[in-house]
Structure 1
Amino acid sequence: MDTEEHEGARLLAALRETPPVGCDEPGVYVARAIRDGRRTVRARRALAVVGGAVAVAMIALVTVVLATPSRDGRFGPAAGGGFDVRERTFRVGSAGGYTPVSYETGRFRQRVTLGPEKPGAAPELAATRATVTMYAAGRFPATASAAGAGAPSVRERPAVWLIGPTPVDGRLELAWQWARDAWAVVSLTGPAADAERARHIAESVLPGSRVPVRVPLTLDPGALASGEHVVAVIAPMAPEKSSLYALRFGTTDPPNAEGGDPASFVVGVGATPGAHDVPPDRISRADGAFAESEPAIEANRLRALLAAIRLIDTASIQPTLVPSDGASTAAAPTTSPPTSASGSPTSTTDTAGNVDGAATSTRTAGGGTPDAPDTFGPSSTSMSATATMGSAR
């Protein structure tokens, strides 16, 4: 086995989780996220030209030291300049009327999509897209950090309005430095875009979590072209609000130099309601599996990708407790054979399993009282999978 194959095997993720949710329930909009990202790039370019009342320091587009929490919760330098695609690395609480719905991992950025916290919420909340994006050190676009109005600090760290504090075309963006040379952004687009709401959401973000992510599918490695690897894993944080699980593949890990999305394709399973959120080239199967791309790829290639998706069920696994100091000791996911073809933060639970099917941890993520230890709960019957993940380098 050569180095690249070894790295690919190391990154194979046996990804779990909850029973399927009805197809009519709200989900995560992969295509819309890409389109919104491109609009963000255009808006940031405009801000860079016009300038702002207060400018923040330019961020060099290189991978530099990534600050990580010590046992006392403080942040300091540590080796590396990216995240683990197999893990959620930060938590977002329920705040400003919103709660985490779905999480998209990534090597250089990770993103949470939010939805209304309570059933029957005001229509303007449901009509507003809300996201939180955390960038690895040195990966926040320089054009974005060079312009914007000064904003109140977030958890005593520097902050700036990329768009705001007054909405522009119904859009607000608040950025803050969550660690040295590392930035995070709250984005609100719609009638509920409000400066105070954005600030509350930002205050609910807690870095330092390491929670394995699981999805109930695998992709035949023979379907991948040279250099293609998993650049993101998408999974629900609130299964009652989203049933979408997906793997994003590409040759380049997002973001690109301008903060946008490189070309990629997505394979997944679950509901994405609303025809306007489905890209024109999406194709699907009767079992709910789908494949799509942005920009569109050749139709025969997309059909081959769809055929290469395998949905996998596994038996329930029992949890083993791990230290609750924010440092996970869970074993890295490895290949396993398929068994068949503004309020307080709220918690969701992930269970990690090793190659033998024995659980290594169950961790509460996406919530908990700020600065409190992670908690643990019982396991439940779950769907799991192995995902073919090539080198992230």
Structure 2
Amino acid sequence: MNEHDQDGEAARLLGPLRDFEPEARTELSPRRSLELGRRRSRTRRVAGTTLGALAVMVVVLGSTVLGRTLTHEAKPRPAAVPETFTQGRRAFTIGSGGGFAPGSYDAGAFVQRITLRPENPAGAVKGADGIVELYPRGRLPAALQGKDPSGRTVDPVYGGRTLVLWTPILRPGAVELAWQWKPGAWGLVSLRGPGVDEARAHHVAESVRLAG
């Protein structure tokens, strides 16, 4: 296409625009302008009021939901009900250990108590004696006032936490050891007299087994 043809094409495309006249702008009367201004002002006020109310509702609903959530989470969990043994039924067996042998067995519901005597009356622990007390989960000797035993950690008895007590709780002057025979359930060994020590108490604890 040459220059003459290009000019002709441009004239053809621009031809319709020569006859185009923009529509005359509608002039509003002062009264009409005032009415439109008032209407727009009312619309803005209504919109602002509506948005404000919605914002308040969102805050109230959010606070209510959050309050319910916090209240639900803040509710204390009910304390676990302490377990019991079957009254009169031996829950454990005990053998000889640490130079001691079992004597009597009191199969109570809240504590099972076994007395110990020297296995050899003429042996290293002649004149000594011992006690084993076993508690169901959630129960402890009254002297502990609901707190777990405290003491020096030693080798576990069958995987349970085991402590040599700082202060004896069953008998003054005794060597005492506590161990968890299952989670949350404690057993205690108390040895008193000649030749007793924590190693013997540990062997006594190892001689205690759950009854089959």
Structure 1 length normalisation: TM-score?
0.31
Match of 1:181 in 2: 184
Whole-Å separation in 1 of the counterparts to 2:193 and 2:199: 15
Q: Which has the larger radius of gyration?
A: 2
Does the alignment pair 1:129 with 2:147? no
- Cα gap change, 1:161 to 1:61, in 2 (>3 Å): farther
Counterpart mapping for 1:1-393 below 5 A: 63-64=81-82, 81-122=83-124, 125-141=125-141, 142-143=144-145, 145-163=148-166, 170-207=173-210, 209=211, 326=212
Q: Does the Cα contact within 8 Å between 1:149 and 1:164 map onto a contact in 2?
A: no
CA deviation map 1:258-293 (0-9, x unaligned): xxxxxxxxxxxxxxxxxxxxxxxxxxxxxxxxxxxx
Q: Does the Cα contact within 8 Å between 2:150 and 2:166 map onto a contact in 1?
A: no
Corresponding letter in the other structure for 1:175: A
- Cα gap change, 1:102 to 1:163, in 2 (>3 Å): farther
Pairwise CA distance, 1:188? 0.8
Structure 1 unaligned blocks of 5 or more: 1-59, 65-80, 210-325, 327-393
CA deviation map 1:324-352 (0-9, x unaligned): xx2xxxxxxxxxxxxxxxxxxxxxxxxxx
Pairwise CA distance, 1:126? 3.4
Aligned residues: 130
Whole-Å separation in 2 of the counterparts to 1:95 and 1:61: 37
Structure 2 unaligned blocks of 5 or more: 1-77
- Cα gap change, 1:206 to 1:146, in 2 (>3 Å): closer
Whole-Å separation in 2 of the counterparts to 1:152 and 1:106: 29
CA deviation map 1:280-310 (0-9, x unaligned): xxxxxxxxxxxxxxxxxxxxxxxxxxxxxxx
Q: Does the Cα contact within 8 Å between 2:113 and 2:133 map onto a contact in 1?
A: yes
Pairwise CA distance, 1:85? 1.5
Name the SS of the counterpart of 1:184 in structure 2.
Answer: strand
Match of 2:70 in 1: none
Pairwise CA distance, 1:138? 0.3
Report 1 or 2 for greater relative contact order, CA contacts < 8 Å, sequence distance ≥ 6.
1
Q: Once superposed, which parts of structure 1, at least 4 consecutive aligned residues long, lie more than 6 Å away? A: none
Task: Name whichever structure is richer in helix by fraction.
Answer: 2
- % of aligned pairs identical? 40
Structure 2 length normalisation: TM-score?
0.55
Q: Does the Cα contact within 8 Å between 1:163 and 1:172 map onto a contact in 2?
A: no
Whole-Å separation in 1 of the counterparts to 2:120 and 2:105: 19
- RMSD, aligned CA: 2.6
